[in-house]
């Protein structure tokens, strides 16, 4: 597969440059994310900096309290089992298994293949203990996009369209995972002696 045009320079100066690029990317993400309270203020007329943190707390209380079955559920406090069950269903929804969150939605086996090859690619990087800078940036994009969706978004209301922006980035690693599997298959094949030997 063609490599992205980033030189494999391991010098300290190159490492500093890459760290600077990564820091600039994360700073840009933080600045864009910081516009959310401003957007909320323009709509509601109230500037609430801690709105997201408040939402997270009430979300956990709601998932483990009011939405748990049984009498007196509202007074039980945090129920980690209920939280884990709900967020586990959301994670499976992202992987293409929506039945635990929306039983009427159909499964998406091609997403299983995509995420499986993605796991192969990431596993190969972990084994090598080396991640190319472009791959690191793409992984950060995937985590920064899907992480908040998993934690706070109503993904089952909007459907897979909310997850679609991350698919091209995941597919990049899926093709890398396919390349890893093909290389392993080729290495496992017995070497043929050259003709005329």
The 10s digit of each residue's pLDDT in 110-166 is 999 999 999 999 999 888 888 888 888 888 889 888 888 887 777 767 777 888 888
pLDDT bucket at 91, cuts 50 / 70 / 90: confident
What lies within 8 Å, CB to CB, of 196 at 6+ separation is: none
Backbone angles phi, psi at 157, to 5 degrees: -80, -45
For residues 43 and 67, state if they share a domain.
Answer: no
For residue 167, what are the domain limits?
108-189
For residues 67 and 29, state if they share a domain.
Answer: no
pLDDT bucket at 63, cuts 50 / 70 / 90: low
- Please tell me the pTM assigned to this model: 0.64
Continuous H helices in the chain: 12-33, 35-44, 51-64, 80-95, 109-128, 133-152, 155-158, 167-188
Task: Please state the rounded mean pLDDT for residues 68-76.
Answer: 44
For residues 182 and 117, state if they share a domain.
Answer: yes
* Domains identified in the chain, total number: 3
CA pair distance 43, 152, nearest whole angstrom? 20
In contact, 90 and 155? CB cutoff 8 Å: yes
In contact, 174 and 44? CB cutoff 8 Å: no
In contact, 162 and 149? CB cutoff 8 Å: yes
At residue 58, the pLDDT reads 59
CA pair distance 59, 42, nearest whole angstrom? 24
Dump pLDDT digits (tens) for 16-46. 777 788 788 778 877 776 777 777 778 777 7
**5 within domain boundaries:** no
For residues 181 and 119, state if they share a domain.
Answer: yes
């Amino acid at each position: 597969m063609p490599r992205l045009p980033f030189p494999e320079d391991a010098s300290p100066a190159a490492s500093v440059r890459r760290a600077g690029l990564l820091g600039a990317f994360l700073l840009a993400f933080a600045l864009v994310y910081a516009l959310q309270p401003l957007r909320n203020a323009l709509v509601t007329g109230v500037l609430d900096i801690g709105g997201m943190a408040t939402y997270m707390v009430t979300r956990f209380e709601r998932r483990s309290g009011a939405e748990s079955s049984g009498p007196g559920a509202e007074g039980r406090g945090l129920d980690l089992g209920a939280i884990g069950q709900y967020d586990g269903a959301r994670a499976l929804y992202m992987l293409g298994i929506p039945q635990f969150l929306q039983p009427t939605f159909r499964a998406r086996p091609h997403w299983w293949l995509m995420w499986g090859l993605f796991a192969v690619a990431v596993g190969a990087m972990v084994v090598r203990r080396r991640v190319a800078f472009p791959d690191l940036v793409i992984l950060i994009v995937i985590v920064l996009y899907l992480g908040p969706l998993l934690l706070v978004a109503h993904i089952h209301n909007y459907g897979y369209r909310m997850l679609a922006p991350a698919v091209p980035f995941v597919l990049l690693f899926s093709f890398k995972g396919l390349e890893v599997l093909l290389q392993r298959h080729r290495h496992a094949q017995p070497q043929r002696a050259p003709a005329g030997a």
